[in-house]
Amino acid sequence: MPGPELAPRRVILAASAGNMLEWYDYFIYGTAAALVFPKLFFPALHGATATIASFLTFASAFVVRPVGAAVWGHFGDRLGRRKVLVSTLVIMGLSTIAIGCLPTADRIGTWAPALLVVLRTVQGLGVSGEYAGAMSMTVEIAPRERRAFYGTWPNVGNSVGLLAATVVFSLLALLPEDQFLGWGWRIPFWLSAALLGVGLYLRTRIGESHVFEEARRRDLLVRAPFAELLRRHKGSLLLGIGVRFCNDVLAYLVLTYTVSYVTTTLGMPPWLSTTAVAVSAACSMIVMPFAGRLADRIGRRPVFAGSAILAIVLAVPYFSLLNTRNPVLVILAIVLLHCGVVETSYAIIGTYLAELYPANIRYSGIGVTYNVTSIIGAGFAPVIAVALYTAAGNNAYAVSGYIAFAAVVTLIAVRFGRETRGTDLLAPERASVA
């Protein structure tokens, strides 16, 4: 029996709480990039140009994430999951607090966006090692028949972080605009200090995964996990990227581009889109455990396929509902696409990636797959969406085509990927065509 430091509930709480902090930090940046940074850090630019510049700072973190994933993965697969999880938490928390202290362009000119990019890049380095560690720990302590359900809980922590971020921004957006832009936007970043303390308390009080310890006892650890990943598991890497692609694209179309579209293009109050995201995050706390239970019963592939098909069905109605400017329908659109599609597949993606790779490269495998997809899927999704909208003569339905394309990529990957439910976590079979 595991000792108290490896009690499943304690591990899940530590993984989820840390994941909540990491993604709270990430989401408040995305919201600020849509609502605040174009005005305060790029005042010389106007309209879509300022928005694109702001979203490019958002994308800068994604560029470094595969590098960070390889580095953190090396230590996570060589030294253990827990030590790395503590380090990533500190880096992410401190960089977020620092962003809240940055002078704006009216104070220090071009140094303001330059420093913003630097701190955003540090954020990317921190978060690049978070998800892989949290999922490795959680899945490795879970019973074989309930892995997907256990694996949803760090992702529920993600939703809690999203909910906290959107609630804080929704409340602060009620301030008069001069106060919100003057000091109100900084408060969400400063609140990260309290969450950092809680996360550190929890993560320093758990032990190491017994699956990792068993791999070490059997002398299965490898000297260069990243090289081993590229040499022997390229099929798993490509499948993981493909399966995750739709989830990544849609997540940041909803959480970043839609916030800007509803506020800037449709002229609706900032609190509306952030409130819609908060409602969706709250709903996802119910949807994700259900998706995990379903994946444990019928397999991972049917859940991924179902969410991708739903994305195609909703691609055009999504913008039709937004364009009504009816607050209820705007909220409904965001909840349907975010909760019904994004969170349903996100609920089990961590478990799926954990089951694709053996224990000796699991941290590296999850991290590199997750973060490479973040570049090609999430990082530039808001920029691509703005460019498509502008190129189509300010027609939002051009972005619907982007949604459908992302869903088709995932459907192809699901079709050719194997089912991972029930696989051996020490040494699962390699990816193969189903």
- Quickly list DSSP for 300-339: HHHHHHHHHHHHHHHHHHHHHHHTT--HHHHHHHHHHHII
d(C-alpha 208, C-alpha 9), whole Å: 14
Closest CA to 243 of 350, 403, 399: 350
Q: What 3-state class would DSSP assign to 222?
A: coil
Which residue in the block uniquely carries the two structure tokens 């590229």? 230
Averaged pLDDT score across all residues of the chain: 89
List b or e across 162-196, with b for residues whose CB sees 16 or more CB atoms inside 10 angstroms.
bbbbbbbbbebbeeeeeebeeebbbbbbebbeebb
pLDDT tier at 4, thresholds 50, 70, 90:
very low
Q: Give the Cα separation of 37 and 310 in Å (integer).
A: 33
pLDDT (tens digit, 9 = 90+) per residue, 170-214?
788 788 888 888 899 899 999 988 888 888 888 888 888 889 999
Model confidence at 6, in pLDDT bands (50, 70, 90)? low
Q: Where is 110: in which H helix or E strand?
A: none
Instruction: Give the chain's length.
Output: 434
> Which fold, 4-416?
Growth Hormone; Chain: A; (1.20.1250)
Q: How far is residue 207's CA from residue 2's CA, in Å, rounded to a whole number?
A: 10
With a cut of 60, say whether residue 1 has pLDDT above it.
Answer: no
pLDDT tens, position by position, 260-282: 899 889 999 878 887 888 899 88
CA-CA distances (angstroms) from residue 164 to 18, 26, 180, 278?
A: 14, 12, 18, 8
Considering the entire predicted model, what is its pTM?
0.86
Cα angle 98, 103, 106 (rounded to 5 degrees) comes to 160
